[in-house]
Amino acid sequence: MQEEISLGELAVRFGLTLRGSPDSKVSHVATLSQATPGSVSFLANSRYRKGLKDTRASVVVVTAVEAEGCPVDALITPNPYLAYARIASLLHPEFHASPGIHPSAVIAKTAHIDSSAAVGPLAVIEEEVELGERVEVGPGCIVQRGAGVGADTRLVARVNLYAGVRIGQRCIVHAGAVIGADGFGFAPDRGTWVKVPQVGSVRIGDDVEIGANTTIDRGAIADTVVEQGAKLDNLIQIGHNVTIGAHTAIAGCSGISGSTTVGQRCMIGGMVGIAGHLTIADDVMVTGLSLISASIKEAGSYSSGMPAVPTRAWRRMVAHLRKFGKKER
């Protein structure tokens, strides 16, 4: 059974204004529509306001404006989603493996593994690997020769770190991620291709999260770099020698071609394609399905994907586009 915590303690711990009983207790989070007594819910988007009036949650995290229509106790803050994230982390803490090495793991003699680290079943730790304090290497992970993982970082399961990859502290790398595979480098030779050796590596900063089945290629000469605090969703492809700036967030199925630099605090939507050898400025937002084929030099929001419309309307739009620029007969 989950431990209960009082609303008064939540308010004090997270700097929230409580409207209601400080002695009321909660134990879990839930959506407005599925909440029951003991639940914490939140309202951060006005589109879900209709769920507020019928909620059975014990408390809802809301703004001061939304609190006026809240039928239950309220924790009031200018940023409900952020406060909810912190409360949810408290009520639903992550499981952490106990220190030690599973008997089925394969560990090279020259690997250095801190005594507080945990290495799970069927993991492989190769020569000269360094695992820092409280590192967790989950089932089936492979950490290849000379790679290093900083303190409190977690490789969830089946993560493959290639040789020489360096990961910072407090990172999370989700299942199936591959970091440090060869970049896509081939020199043409009279209709055939000659592989260009990829001799760089990958450097991941502190507090980075990398989603399931995301791939980050090693550099051709210099390293591929993901700076501190960046958040990468599932199924993202990062090409060789790309740099992702600090605190940038990239949504799923996006692809960034080689030698492109993405600035700090950018937000890249799902299925965005970014061509190679470009520079994206700091504080740029790119909406989903956009194609970026030229550098972006100024902060702001950029789009190129076209939202879906009924097929007949789409055909008329295409017909007009085909005529665009043609000389009148």
Identify the pLDDT of residue 2.
66
pLDDT band at 17 (very low <50, low <70, confident <90, very high): very high
84-100: pLDDT as tens digits: 999 999 999 999 999 99
Band of pLDDT at residue 179, cut at 50, 70 and 90: very high
CB 244 within 8 A of CB 226: yes
Instruction: With a cut of 80, say whether residue 326 has pLDDT above it.
Output: no
Q: How many CB atoms lie within 10 A of CB 228?
A: 17
Q: Over the stretch 29-65, which tens digit does the pLDDT of each residue have?
A: 999 999 999 999 999 998 999 999 999 999 999 999 9
pLDDT digits (tens, 9 = 90+) for 217-266: 999 999 999 999 999 999 999 999 999 999 999 999 999 999 999 999 99
Q: Which of 240, 247, 277, 320 is catalytic?
A: 240
Q: What is the DSSP letter of 176?
A: T
Judged against a pLDDT cut of 60, whether residue 299 lies above it is answered with yes
| Per-residue pLDDT, 175 | 98
Following DSSP, what letter does each residue of 193-240 receive, concatenated?
EEEPP----EEE-TT-EE-TT-EEEPPSSS-EEE-TT-EE-SS-EE-T
Q: How far is CA 158 from CA 137, 183, 234, in A?
A: 9, 20, 14
Q: How confident is residue 191, by pLDDT bands cut at 50, 70 and 90?
A: very high
DSSP annotation string for 248-280? -EE-TT-EE-TT-EE-TT-EE-TT-EE-SS-EE
Q: What would the mean pLDDT of 149-171 be, rounded to a whole number? A: 98
Strand partners, 6: 25
Would you say residue 327 has pLDDT above 80? no
Confidence band (pLDDT; 50, 70, 90) for 323?
A: confident
| pLDDT exceeds 80 at position 103 | yes
pLDDT of residue 307: 87
Residue 315 DSSP label: H
- What is the percentage of the chain residues whose pLDDT exceeds 70? 98
240 is catalytic: yes
Structure tokens at 268: 């890249």
Q: What is the pLDDT of residues 128-157, one digit of tens each?
A: 999 999 999 999 999 999 999 999 999 999
What percent of the chain lies above the pLDDT cut of 90?
A: 94
Average pLDDT over the chain reads 96
Answer whether residue 1 shows pLDDT above 90: no
